[in-house]
Every structure is written in structure tokens, then in C-alpha cells.
């Protein structure tokens, strides 16, 4: 990364979320109470990111410039330094235990000793093509005694050790991300994993202490972070998320991409559950200009969405089992991100995985709940990046939730969901469509059971 030459104005921090569907820049201010006040945002569609990774540097650079310029125009603040989130299927997390033997065991442990530990993990050798993105201490040990959650400053001991959660990623993917930011004219002062950012904005300390699995369903990736006793225990990222669901809807329903996306985002028509929907209920969807609307059986459409979600949460279930913390998640599962806006997602996840589930929104970080635009799950990562940036600069007390942020809202950041895309729902089926519907139902039944995408999600789990 380039060395910082142009600093942000005093107490100003900027979080930059470079996602598959959107690039969002949030400008925040550090105040005297060690809290942050979000001043404004800039958001544009993302063109150069695929599955959470920068695929086209030029497009991503241009989109970063546009998003940051919007934020500057809204806030009147000129900034250069940004804190950036990173995701993508290339991200891996591992655990390490490393330690040092102190030359003078009678001297009290100080920050120099902790720094020596951190330098050890920062210089850890990686496989060719990999690099360490971030690392997080889980527990400390002094002379191999009882593990300590907090830094053992002021203690006496000979051997100082720590367990580390280390996040590594592909060097090329990380370089593409950093290059895009730098080519846009900004200085990336830090990178951290996006699920950790989302956790900072939606999880409480009680949830992280009792054991919780955060699931952030973004555009290109679904990110998982498991906490127990206030410590990050497991992270994972996989490329099944919102864009995957959109592509399946587009393909199976024979819709344009934009129509499929807007259909998915409409909570009145898209449900994670389908059993309660009448076989006779149709959706009349305007697809192509100058052509009649497409009529879609709502039950079969929602069954398709349900199958996609079961594939996503099937992977979540595997990661929970792999982490060995499945029986320690007293706070259950918290789902956030754009995908969490799908109606009936909470009961669907509870039925499928068998753990209490809630939808995580960053309302606890907002002082003015009338600013509802920022209380949506799609802003969890962006707000979290600003929180992490403040925390890493020593400006936010880690032990206290940030609840006094004041946010200015611009209308154009509200998600673009068309209200003119759909005709009214058809509650009854005209006789002339009856034969067509029976054939379509048979076709849908066949592919729902046989298609490779959904073959793992037959109804056997409900028996």
C-alpha cells in the first residue's frame, strides 16, 4: 500500500465497501465520547466485481471515484484515506498459537511484549501466492496458565503466548482491490474481512459472548463469522449469494436480469417459504417492452427461491459443523446483508438449521431511528467498516456498543425497487390458462427434483 501523504480532516474516518452489486462509501466523524457520527454516504452500482473479487480494475476504479465523489458532495468533506472491506472465495482463515520467551521474566508485561507477539504473526510464512490480510488474538497465555481474553498487560511471567485467528487471501485478488483504490486516488489505510465489519455493526457483545453465527448474504458472496466468549472462532466465505439467486430466477423463469433482480427484491412477491402460498396465485410480471406480461405461479417461484436459500444455508450448516462450535451457539444465527431482506427468511432458516434465527440490522448503531434508510441490512457492512476504522485508530471503546451515531440520509441511497414492474396478483386462474398451468407445474416439479442446482434440497428434510 502507498504511504499516507494526505491525511483526512481531523476525526474523519471513511469506510469503503467494494461489493459485487454496489460500492458504498460512508463518511463518519469521531466525537469526544469515543463514538462515531455518520455524516453521509455515496453509493453506485458495481460493475467490475464478481463473486466478491475485483475482476475489472478500470471499472472498479471508476466506480470507487463515483461513490467517493458522491460522499464528498453530500458531506462537503475532502478525504484521502479509506478503510476497505475485503471478501471473495479466495479468503481462508486458520488458527495459530505462537509465543515468545521474555528475557526478563521479573519485568511486568507491557505493550512492547504484545507488539513482539504481533510481529511474529504478521511475519508468518504463507504459501506462494498467499498473503496475510489480518489477524485477531483469541486468547493469551502467561506461562501456559489459564487463557486470558484481554491483553495481559501488568502481569509477570516468563513465557507469553497467544492463539491467533489469521485471515489469508490470494495475493493477486488482494492486489487488484488495493490497486483499484489507489488508482482512484485514495489511500487504503487498512483492510479487514467484511463479515467482521458486519459483525461490528449488527451483533451485540452479549451475542458474541454467548455464541453466535453471523451470516451476511451479499451480492456475490455469503460471509460467515462465528463468535464464542466474545472471540472470533471461525470465518468462511463462499460464492452463493444474492446474484446467484437472481441468476437462477432469470434462467428458470426466462426473465431479463433486471426483471429477475427487481422481482427478487420485492418483498410482496418473494418469500423464503412456499407451502402457505396457494397453487392458484399468479404473478403477472412485465418483462420485455412491447410484449405481454409473463404469468408466473407464485408458489413455484417461491419454491425456487427456497431451493436457492437451502443451498446457501446448507453450506452454512456445514461451516457450523466444521467449526466445532455448533453446540455453543446460544444466541443462534443472525442473518444480515441484502439477502436478509427476503420475506420469511427467519422461519425458513430456523426450520432448515434448527437454531434460533434473527435478522441483524444496524439499528443499535443509530441514534436517530427515524433515519430508516440506514437501518436496513444492506448497509451492515458499510457501517461496520467505519466502526472498524474508528476502533483501529483507537477512537471507539471496544467494550461499548456505539449507539449515538447520527446519520444524514439522502433519498438516492434508498434501494431502487420498482413499484411499476408488476400488475396486480391474479387470485384465480382463467380457464384458457388451466392446461398451460398444469404443464408448467409438471415441468417445475421435475426440475425442482432433478436439476443439479437443487438436487440436494428435496423435501426429505421436512419429513
Where do the domains of the chain lie, and which CATH numbers do they carry? 92-168 (3.30.1490.110), 205-359+429-463 (3.30.420.40)
Give the residue, 264 or 150, on which the prediction is more confident.
264
- At 461, the pLDDT band (50, 70, 90 cuts) reads very low
Least Cα distance to 285 among 273, 268, 303, 305 occurs for 268
CA torsion sign for 151, 1, 67, 24 is: negative
Is the pLDDT confidence value at 430 over 50? no
Rounded CA separation 236/348 (Å): 21
pLDDT attached to residue 289: 83
pLDDT attached to residue 422: 37
Give the residue, 184 or 447, on which the prediction is more confident.
184
Rounded CA separation 215/195 (Å): 8
pLDDT attached to residue 397: 36
Is the pLDDT confidence value at 456 over 90? no
CA torsion sign for 428, 433, 435, 438 is: negative
- At 424, the pLDDT band (50, 70, 90 cuts) reads very low
The mean pLDDT of the chain is: 82
Is the pLDDT confidence value at 44 over 50? yes
pLDDT attached to residue 453: 38
386 in Cβ contact with 14 (< 8 Å): yes
**What average pLDDT score do residues 309-338 get?**
96
Burial class (CB within 10 angstroms; exposed 0-12, middle 13-18, buried 19+) of 403: exposed
pLDDT attached to residue 35: 61
Predicted TM-score (pTM) of the model is: 0.79
pLDDT attached to residue 392: 76
User: Directed axis angle between helix 57-75 and helix 171-183, to 10°?
Assistant: 50
Least Cα distance to 312 among 381, 227, 224, 232 occurs for 224
Q: pLDDT (tens digit, 9 = 90+) per residue, 348-368?
A: 999 999 999 999 988 766 554
Q: How many CA atoms lie within 13 A of 437 on its CB side?
A: 20
Q: pLDDT (tens digit, 9 = 90+) per residue, 258-313?
A: 999 999 999 899 999 999 999 999 999 988 888 888 899 999 999 999 999 999 99
Amino acid at each position: 500500500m502507498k504511504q499516507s501523504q494526505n491525511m483526512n480532516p481531523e476525526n474523519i474516518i471513511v469506510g469503503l465497501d467494494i461489493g459485487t452489486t454496489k460500492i458504498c462509501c460512508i463518511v463518519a466523524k469521531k466525537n469526544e465520547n469515543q463514538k462515531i457520527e455518520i455524516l453521509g454516504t455515496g453509493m453506485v452500482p458495481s460493475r467490475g466485481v464478481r463473486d466478491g473479487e475485483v475482476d475489472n480494475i478500470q471499472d472498479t476504479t471508476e466506480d470507487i471515484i463515483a461513490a467517493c465523489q458522491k460522499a464528498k458532495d453530500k458531506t462537503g468533506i475532502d478525504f484521502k484515506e479509506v478503510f476497505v472491506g475485503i471478501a471473495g472465495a479466495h479468503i481462508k482463515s486458520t488458527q495459530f498459537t505462537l509465543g515468545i520467551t521474555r528475557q526478563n521474566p521479573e519485568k511486568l508485561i507491557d505493550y512492547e511484549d504484545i507488539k513482539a507477539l504481533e510481529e511474529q504473526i504478521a511475519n508468518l510464512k504463507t504459501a506462494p501466492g498467499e498473503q496475510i490480510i489480518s489477524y485477531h488474538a483469541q486468547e493469551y497465555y502467561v506461562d501456559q496458565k489459564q487463557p486470558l481474553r484481554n491483553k495481559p498487560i501488568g502481569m509477570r511471567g516468563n513465557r507469553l503466548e497467544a492463539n491467533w485467528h489469521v485471515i489469508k487471501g490470494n495475493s493477486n485478488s488482494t492486489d487488484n482491490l488495493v490497486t483499484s483504490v489507489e488508482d482512484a486516488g485514495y489511500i487504503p489505510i487498512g483492510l479487514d474481512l467484511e463479515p467482521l465489519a458486519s459483525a461490528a455493526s449488527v451483533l451485540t457483545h452479549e451475542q458474541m459472548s454467548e455464541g453466535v453465527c453471523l451470516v451476511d448474504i451479499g451480492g456475490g458472496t455469503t460471509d460467515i463469522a462465528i463468535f464464542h466468549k466474545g472471540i472470533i472462532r471461525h470465518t468462511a466465505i463462499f460464492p452463493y449469494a444474492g446474484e446467484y439467486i437472481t441468476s437462477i430466477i432469470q434462467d428458470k423463469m426466462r426473465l431479463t436480469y433486471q426483471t429477475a433482480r427487481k422481482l427478487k427484491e420485492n418483498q410482496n412477491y418473494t418469500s423464503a417459504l412456499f407451502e402457505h402460498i396457494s397453487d392458484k396465485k399468479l404473478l403477472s410480471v412485465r418483462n420485455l417492452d412491447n410484449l405481454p406480461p409473463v404469468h408466473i405461479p407464485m408458489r413455484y417461484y417461491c419454491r425456487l427461491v427456497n431451493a436457492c436459500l437451502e443451498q446457501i444455508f446448507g453450506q452454512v450448516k456445514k461451516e457450523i459443523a466444521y467449526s466445532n462450535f455448533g453446540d455453543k451457539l446460544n444466541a443462534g444465527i443472525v442473518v444480515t446483508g441484502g439477502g436478509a431482506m427476503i420475506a420469511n427468511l427467519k422461519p425458513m432458516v430456523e426450520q432448515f438449521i434448527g437454531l434460533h434465527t434473527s435478522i441483524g440490522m444496524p439499528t443499535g448503531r443509530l441514534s436517530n431511528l427515524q433515519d430508516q434508510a440506514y437501518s436496513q441490512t444492506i448497509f451492515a457492512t458499510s457501517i461496520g467498516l467505519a466502526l472498524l476504522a474508528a476502533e483501529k485508530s483507537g477512537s471507539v471503546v471496544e467494550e461499548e456498543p456505539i449507539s449515538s451515531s447520527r446519520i444524514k440520509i439522502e433519498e438516492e441511497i434508498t434501494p431502487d425497487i420498482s413499484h411499476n414492474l408488476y400488475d396486480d396478483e391474479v387470485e384465480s386462474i382463467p380457464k384458457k390458462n388451466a392446461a398451460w398451468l398444469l404443464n408448467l407445474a409438471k415441468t417445475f416439479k421435475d426440475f425442482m427434483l432433478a436439476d443439479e442446482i437443487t438436487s440436494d434440497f428435496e423435501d426429505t428434510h421436512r419429513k
